[in-house]
Amino acid sequence: MKIFISYTTRDRNITKEFLLKLYNELSEFETVYIDLIHNDSDNKQKRVFKELESADQIVLIETESVYDSNWVKIELESAKSLKKGIIKIPYNELIELLKAKKSQWLTTYIKNSASNY
């Protein structure tokens, strides 16, 4: 299964360090795409849409400003038009799961709880 992580860095909670930790935990069990870490393409927008298209699940990290991000809105609308499952996980819950090293539980949760945006 391939997971596309959607987020905004407007909220200072979402840092490259945090995203690397999330990637390291989830990639043990699944293929994970996180734009800030993986997008080294010349045409970054095209790469995002390609990754969205090939993803099985979209995971939205819900933070205070996530719905104010135009890019997040575009990602979610694209995912919706592609009929991809979108899983919303509040940042605070995600932090607790990562602290508890519950990444296997998280991947199971992601697999089993796709919902529509």
Over 60: is that where the pLDDT of 115 sits?
no
pLDDT digits (tens, 9 = 90+) for 63-96: 999 999 999 999 999 999 999 989 999 999 888 8
Q: Do residues 36 and 61 lie in contact, with contact meaning Cβ atoms separated by under 8 Å?
A: no
> Rounded to whole angstroms, how far apart are CA atoms 72 and 6?
6
Return the percentage of the chain with pLDDT > 90, whole number. 64
pLDDT digits (tens, 9 = 90+) for 9-21: 998 889 999 999 9
> Phi and psi of 15, rounded to 5°?
-110, 170
Q: What is the pTM of this model?
A: 0.87
* Domains identified in the chain and CATH numbers: 2-112 (3.40.50.10140)
Q: Is 44 helix (H, G, I), strand (E, B) or coil?
A: helix
